[in-house]
Structure 1
Amino acid sequence: MESVSRAAVKIDIERSEIREFLFPPLGDNDGLLKVEASGVGGSDPEMYRRENTAPCIMGHENVGTVARIGDAAAQRWGLRAGDRIALHEYLPCWHCHWCRQGDFRLCMEADFFNVKDRFNTLRYGTCNADIPPHLWGGFSEYMYLAPNAVIHKIPADMDARLATLAVPLGNGVQWAVLDGGAGLGKTVLVFGPGQQGLSCALAAKQAGALTVIIAGMTRDRTRLDLSLSLGADIAVDVQQEDLAAVVMRATGGMGVDVVVDTTGDPDGKIAEQAVALSAKGAWLSLNGLSASVPLGEIKKRYLTVRAPRGHSYRAVQMALDILASGKWPAEKLCSHDFPLEQVHEAILATAGRGIEGAIHVTVSPHKS
């Protein structure tokens, strides 16, 4: 077996290079993953252009085969060498209130909003590659399986690229269903037809939503069309159609029961629109750190407002079950695949640069 892993390392703003790392020494409580595929997340282009985040091995939507594993780790995780797994990006404490509920996104050691230095916090795909044992990201032939890794076993025959959707689809399950309340008979509005928005639409329909409306722009036409095979009932180009008119026509003037914004909403306009298009008692999952909503309207409409914040263990497992069922053509989301040497192009493609039509981009480190 090899003793060196090649990895694509971010070395500066939108610059990466291939470096080699020795395999780490392993004990009873950890392991080593042979990475089959790593998805480029919607947040990765932002990470790639951010200052003071190099060197870093990016890649946090990771799927692979257990190459080596310690005896204690094998017993704890219920795994053995040769098993295939999908990983969360979180490396939580495992003993706090939130971890014991499987809600690792809120663990004080894993939550970006609570740590002082995000770059030097251990988290797959975003932490400093100078921190031993270095292999903290999926844009690498091998990854370190830390004792506190959050792991899901996947079927032996599941396509690796499809399985990388576990995290984005897990976000969709969390934001639209578990946090947003999408379910039987509900009407749902999703802003943004990227990988997260499409996942929200699919998750909502899987949960039994009566009508799912997804909104995007003219440049999103291909994604809007694709959404109609992935759970959406109505796809709206807001630059060509009146979204409010479409929503009110579809809901008999009542407004929607659930709104999920996946766009980031930098100027707060979507938040305002979400409130205006909501039915009384609706649940809103609103994105964007600068967005604000009028408290008077929230009170008048008896709205519940939350913000999309990652995914729980339950959400990712539900996502994997949906993918394994074959009920939805989720493979259509997997638009492009790149070898390790083209990580730069893969990240830019996710940002809509260089390659048209990218939705969920993957990196396959052992692809030639």
Structure 2
Amino acid sequence: MTKKVLAAVKTDVETIEIREFDYPTVKPESGILRIEASGVGGSDPELYRKAGHVPVIMGHENVGTIEEVGEVAAKRWGVKSGDRVALHEYLPCWNCEWCMKGDFRLCMEVDFFNVKDRLNTDRFGMSTANKPPHLWGGYAQYMHLPLNTVMHKIPQDMPATHATLAVPFGNGVQWACLDGGAGPGKTVLVWGPGQQGLGCVLAAKAAGSYTVILAGMTRDQSRLDLSLRLGADYAINVETQDLEAEVMRITKGRGVDVVVDTTGDPKGEIVKQSIALAAKGAYLSLNGLEQQVPIGEIKKRYLTVRAPRGRSYAAVELALRYIGSGRYPIDQVCSHTFGLAQVHDAILATAGRGVQGAIHVCVEPWK
């Protein structure tokens, strides 16, 4: 009798059904991951309310134990049954220009900006559940691992919920440090105190940045407070404080060297403010899709502008070292856990709906 797997499937806008799937057959070039925890990413609420993107087993911040692994896959990944791993969501081709350069996050096979049908994008948590063997997301008891899976081995004693921060904190390392150059002597401004913004704060300070400033809103007060324990020197509530005046006071009128926007700039104001607060020669990581950048101001201030786009293997490796170091209050970042039957509530909590004080939310499928 075929073993069955339970999964939470998005079937409509903000609608989840628990469905049963067959346990996949393991081939020499594949494996099976027993999911311990799957973090709810900052992009999950957006995907959850997106019409037409169904059926999907969401969940892309995945941590678990290798249940079974084929001979070819075991050699490729350097793992065996019983090893614990954290995954990237990307399923890159490994033969294009970007993959060969080591920057698989830009592989055309995984880049949803370059495909017409995002259901067919090769990413965990985004690909259609209609595609056999169906288990492409972490909101399930088990996941299928194809040969092009990108994974990191984690210690046996690292809490699974902590390890799910590998992706958002890996983004923090990438955006603030590897791309932005945050480090000794630098002053860094981070917009947004979500899990990625907090990751930027931690990474920037760990890299030796002289001053790290986090900007948020009144509803974010608990996250702003937490940021001070993760490395922020200043946590500014933009609704009760004058951000520009505060930043210029802190930097003695010089401005900041690195800006990272993790909010998506929903009102289109962050681009303008970031440029106004930037020191000459600063690096700006600006978010959103419709915003416009004034080239004259960029030229005058000699700024470098780029948009945040995922993370590299090296960024996640470093993030996992920070997470497991014992130096940071990671338990306070991992604020809430939900069972498989509560995936709807978990995603809404990440969006600030239904549950107060949620920071990093996890789904534990066996809970």
TM-score if structure 2 supplies the norm length? 0.98
User: In 1, distance between residues paired with 2:101 and 2:325?
Assistant: 26
User: In 2, distance between residues paired with 1:127 and 1:230?
Assistant: 34
Alpha carbons 2:66, 2:80 under 8 Å: kept: yes
Residue 288 of structure 1 corresponds to 288
User: In 2, distance between residues paired with 1:138 and 1:162?
Assistant: 15
Whether 1:102 and 2:96 are equivalent positions in the alignment is no
Residue 145 of structure 1 corresponds to 145
SS of 2:119's partner is coil
User: In 2, distance between residues paired with 1:2 and 1:199?
Assistant: 42
User: In 2, distance between residues paired with 1:198 and 1:289?
Assistant: 22
Whether 1:366 and 2:366 are equivalent positions in the alignment is yes
Alpha carbons 2:31, 2:145 under 8 Å: kept: yes
Q: Deviations over 1:34-85 (max 9, x none)?
A: 0000000000001001011111100000000000000111111110000000
Residue 342 of structure 1 corresponds to 342
Alpha carbons 1:30, 1:70 under 8 Å: kept: yes
Two-structure CA RMSD over aligned residues (Å)? 1.1
Q: Deviations over 1:225-254 (max 9, x none)?
A: 111001110000011111111111111110
Residue 80 of structure 2 corresponds to 80
User: In 2, distance between residues paired with 1:183 and 1:328?
Assistant: 19
Q: Deviations over 1:292-333 (max 9, x none)?
A: 121111111100000001111111111111112122222211
Whether 1:252 and 2:252 are equivalent positions in the alignment is yes
User: In 1, distance between residues paired with 2:83 and 2:101?
Assistant: 25
Alpha carbons 1:267, 1:290 under 8 Å: kept: no
Q: 1:2 deviation in Å?
A: 8.2
SS of 1:18's partner is strand
Residue 238 of structure 2 corresponds to 238
Amino acid at match of 1:266: P
Q: Which runs of 5 or more residues in structure 2 are unaligned?
A: none
User: In 2, distance between residues paired with 1:264 and 1:121?
Assistant: 22
Residue 309 of structure 1 corresponds to 309
SS of 1:208's partner is coil
Alpha carbons 1:266, 1:290 under 8 Å: kept: no
Amino acid at match of 2:197: G
Residue 331 of structure 1 corresponds to 331
User: In 2, distance between residues paired with 1:339 and 1:41?
Assistant: 16
Residue 49 of structure 1 corresponds to 49
User: In 2, distance between residues paired with 1:16 and 1:77?
Assistant: 33
Alpha carbons 1:102, 1:314 under 8 Å: kept: no
Alpha carbons 1:266, 1:291 under 8 Å: kept: no
Amino acid at match of 2:67: A
Whether 1:10 and 2:49 are equivalent positions in the alignment is no
Alpha carbons 1:172, 1:203 under 8 Å: kept: yes
User: In 1, distance between residues paired with 2:142 and 2:15?
Assistant: 21
User: In 1, distance between residues paired with 2:45 and 2:150?
Assistant: 24
Q: 1:96 deviation in Å?
A: 1.8
Amino acid at match of 2:359: I
SS of 1:140's partner is coil
User: In 2, distance between residues paired with 1:90 and 1:224?
Assistant: 30
Alpha carbons 1:10, 1:16 under 8 Å: kept: yes
Amino acid at match of 2:353: R
User: In 2, distance between residues paired with 1:266 and 1:340?
Assistant: 31
SS of 2:324's partner is helix
TM-score if structure 1 supplies the norm length? 0.98
